[in-house]
Structure 1
Amino acid sequence: MIELDDMGVPRLKQGGPLKLAPKERAVLAQLLRRPDGVVSKAAFAQEAWQGEEMTDESLARSISRLRRVLKPLGTTLEAHYGLGYRLVLEAPSTPQDLETLAHARQLLVQRTPAAVTRCIELARGLCARSAGLLEARIVLVEALVVAILWGQLPTAAGVAEGMALLADFGEGRRDFPGFHAARASLLDLAWRFDEADEHFTLALRSEERVDTLMAYSRHLLCMDRCAEAVDVLRRVRQLAPHLLHARMNLARALVQGGAGSEAVAEVRAAQVDHPGTPVLQAFALAIEAMVAPRKELEAAAQRMTDGADAQPFAWSVLAFVRSRLGLRDATLDIVDAMLLCSATDAGERSLYAAPLAAIGETARARALLEAAAEQGCGILGLVLRDPAHAHWLPADPAGQCLLKRVFG
């Protein structure tokens, strides 16, 4: 598939030279000269950098860029800890598989329960029939993380499946783009935040993928490092100005950090950019109710629950809006009905802790959060940091125990 021409320049066997920057071209040329062996960092420094200073980070960036170019060609770069890198030729993925992978990624960006379910189906199929397509494993893990956060998958089962997918990478491929961020996301869901922090450090050292930054922002919110999360999400907005869930996460980070008016401005701007998006509409109502509750929000939230196809999250938003307006009985009507009659797991039920806390029902709110903790629900890290709980949970003795249980 790839060879060196007479001038020592990497090229496709049935095509022209690969479009690479000089450093990446020199690195690939070295690897092609030793297709079955490991090229050491010292060798790269001597030949590819030719006396210029080479840092671990600069080499890692070159390797990361090369992987993106080589991935569709069925070629992988393996990292061998303490030694260097090795070129591994694999069976190339079919055009159909690559198209399926692209479609799965598009579905994941939509962030709706139905789209995430379909993404998981497609990615599982790709992993089963195209073992060398490592990006399919990364996409599947990312989709599993979102499904757990949506309450579509039990945390334990989803984390176990994701960890098994990443374990197949082996020691030599763990700097594949997205690997460390994917593992860190799973560790966050398992409340292993210190380990997750280590993997995010490794991920950010060599790459600036939007998906990595998004996952890192969630980690920072769990750690209550709101200012850092805002900075990361503003960087995401520069890289991907129209990415919906980035703007939603930014608004959440702003509220959590005490910048409510900026959060409202962010969700209103996002609604202009993404008109008629139900998830965003519900989220925007919750943000506005948290920052500046007003009667008009109730009617808008009520409309989202009309019809047989109303999304479950619409009811939790309506309950929260009513609770922020001081409508105690109307809030309890929704909460009691949903907790008694709907088929929700402990993670989804924990979302009703916010409206209960807002009307002073902190004992019931705490019980929902503790039930989610008993089941190890991955979403609980974010739920506990919800600004709706900031006024009571840290001051409540049982709440303090809950925070310590999850965050250590």
Structure 2
Amino acid sequence: MPSPAGDDHNDEPSGSSPAGLGYSADDDGEVCVHGRPLALPPKERAVLHLLLQRWPRTVSKEEFAREVWAGQAMSDESLARCIAQLRQAVPPATGLALRAQYRRGYRLQVTTDGPSAVAPPAAAHGRLLHVAMARPHQVETLTHARQLVQQREADALVRAEQLLRALIAEAPDYLAARLAFAECLAATVSCGLAVRRERIDEALAHLAWVETEAPQMPGLLTETAHLLDCAWRFDEAAVLHARALAGSPLDAATHYYRGWHLLATDRPREAVQALEQALQLNPFSVYMAILLARALATAGDHEAALARALRTRANAPENRAAALHLLGVQALVKPSPALAAPALQMLRDPASWIFAASTLGYVLARSGEAEAAARVITNTDPGNPSEQATHAAALALLGRRTEALDRLERAAGEGCGHLPLVLLATENATLRDDPRWSAIAARVWPRRT
């Protein structure tokens, strides 16, 4: 649809268009690339659909509010968030860019002479293209499952695993589903749920299948490296992290998982740099921000950790994990009896974040509520050594050092999981002068001792 005279400055190369790059917007609200649906969250998909329909015109904020938000309140921040997410999914390297028009809105701009001149897509965009290579209901199932994984909640991870197992059984050649399944199992293990080596081996087997069929598939190196980190095979993981970073320097997940690796191998300052880069590329990820604050605290920069936690809470005021995490950082940096009240309130309204119990136990122990902290610890799943180990700091504060070390020792016997981050956390620094701690550390990092 041509734009009115003076409405836009069309600086696309002559003869170029989004359609020439393979993009189309169908009548059902789908955005397709070379005929295959592009998997995006609903709002982002609707924004891109409208931009494609209106190309080359600028779409005003009023049009977005009317056509996409459909009468619901739309803030400048919510629109900007959608645009930022789309820029991750559709980076300029693909030949299509999203440009802001000052005080007017946004428009699409073609930046190349056609699809033959498009540079290799960034990993985030490449993942979306692979996701789209299936039947519509399979694409929707995979997209939903990945959204569940991103929640980092126990029930959500269980449901995601169920969906992905069924999807792989239905479509065994759907490589993106196998990659997502590996991501789901890695998240489950690294969060302390169902920590078993055979689960890591199962995930690695799926990735080996993907490597055989599509060795250049975006995300393959990063997910394999993270699984190796979860199995404490850090030397092997380091090689893959370096390769992933060289191949996908603009991928937030690549930097995030490398940050996890650096933090787990006792290089917190390097981890801070990697996680800051991840957050720049994906500024709305609560969990990237939480891990960055943890890295700052582990590096000894407690005030910066607190500032980061406060910023995360302000940016995500409705997010329970952000609220809980802030309480934990406040208890570490500026302990106060006043922290007990919000912690006790959260106990009455159970949170689904995986690290809720250990965070609340620590906050209560640090703020003088010993009995409440002890109740939280007692209610932890006795059959999950990795989850029990997350209470080590609270147990030490309660004078139960031997029990804290017992729990760390049992978790080390699992041979995988998030224990490296637990051992290196500032909260557990008081346990490191115990001879048993050195023996536990030797099981996690045998080459360091």
* TM-score normalized with structure 2 length: 0.69
Please state how far the C-alpha of 1:318 moved relative to its aligned partner.
2.9
Aligned pair in 2 of structure 1 residues 23, 406: CA closer, same or farther (>3 Å)? farther
Match of 2:443, as an amino acid? R
Q: Equivalent residue of 1:391, what SS?
A: helix
Give the equivalent residue in structure 2 for 1:402.
Answer: 440
Measured against aligned partners, the alpha-carbon deviations of 1:64-101 in whole angstroms (never above 9, x if no partner) come to: 69955863675xxxxxxxxxxxxxxxxxx112222222
1:16-165 residue pairs with structure 2 within 5 A?
20=95, 25-26=115-116, 61=120, 67=126, 71=130, 74=133, 93-165=134-206
Task: Provide the rounded CA distance (Å) in 1 between the counterparts of 2:439 and 2:139.
Answer: 48
CA shift digits 1:28-65 (9 cap, x unpaired): 9xxxxxxxxxxxxxxxxxxxxxxxxxxxxxx9x56969
User: Which is worse superposed, 290-299 or 232-241?
Assistant: 232-241
Letter in 2 for 1:162: A
Q: Which runs of 5+ in 1 are unaligned?
A: 1-9, 29-58, 75-92
Query: Percent identical across equivalent pairs?
Result: 30
Matched residue, 2:300: 258
Shift of residue 122, structure 1, vs aligned partner: 2.2
SS at match of 1:168: helix
Q: Is the 8 A contact 1:24 1:66 kept in 2?
A: no
Q: What is the rounded CA distance, in whole Å, between the counterparts of 1:139 and 1:24 in structure 2?
A: 31
Q: Could you say which residue in structure 1 is the equivalent of 2:321?
A: 279
Counterparts of 2:219 and 2:398 in 1: how far apart (Å)?
A: 42
Q: 1:203 aligns with which of 227, 244, 253?
A: 244
Q: Structure 1 residue 237 and structure 2 residue 290: aligned? A: no
* 1:246 aligned partner: 288
Distance 1:303 1:73 in 2: 43
Whether the aligned pair in 1 keeps the contact of 2:153 and 2:352 (CA below 8 Å) is no
Asked if structure 1 preserves the Cα contact closer than 8 Å seen for 2:188 and 2:194, the reply is yes
Q: C-alpha separation between the residues in 2 aligned to 1:318 and 1:181? A: 32
Amino acid at match of 1:289: A
Q: Could you tell me which of 186, 206, 225 is aligned with 1:184?
A: 225
Tell me the residue number matched to 2:333. 291
* Deviation, structure 1 residue 25: 4.7
- The equivalent residue for 1:224 is 266
Query: Distance between the aligned counterparts of 2:357 and 2:286, measured in 1?
Result: 22
**How many aligned positions are there?**
345
Identify if the C-alpha distance between structure 1 residues 175 and 358 changes in structure 2 by more than 3 Å, giving closer, same or farther.
farther
Which range moves more in the overlay, 140-149 or 129-138? 129-138
CA distance in 1, matches of 2:116, 2:200: 39
Give 1:272 deviation, angstroms: 1.7
Which residue of the partner structure matches residue 33 of structure 1?
Answer: none
Shift of 1:354: 1.0
Displacement after TM superposition at 1:23 (Å): 10
Contact kept? 1:290, 1:388, Cα under 8 Å: yes
Alignment partner of 1:382 out of 414, 421, 438 = 421
- Report the alpha carbon displacement of residue 377 of structure 1 after superposing the two structures with TM: 4.1
Structure 1 pair 236–72 and aligned structure 2 pair: CA distance change class (3 A): closer
Matched, 1:193 2:234: yes
Amino acid at match of 2:198: A
Give distance in 2, aligned partners of 1:293 and 1:64: 42
**Contact 1:141/1:162, CA 8 A, preserved across alignment:** yes
Deviates more, 1:133-142 or 1:307-316: 307-316
Q: 1:36 — aligned with what?
A: none
Displacement after TM superposition at 1:357 (Å): 1.9
Q: CA RMSD in A?
A: 3.1
Give the 3 Å change call, closer, same or farther, for CA 326–203 of structure 1 in structure 2. Answer: same
What is the TM-score normalised by the length of structure 1? 0.75
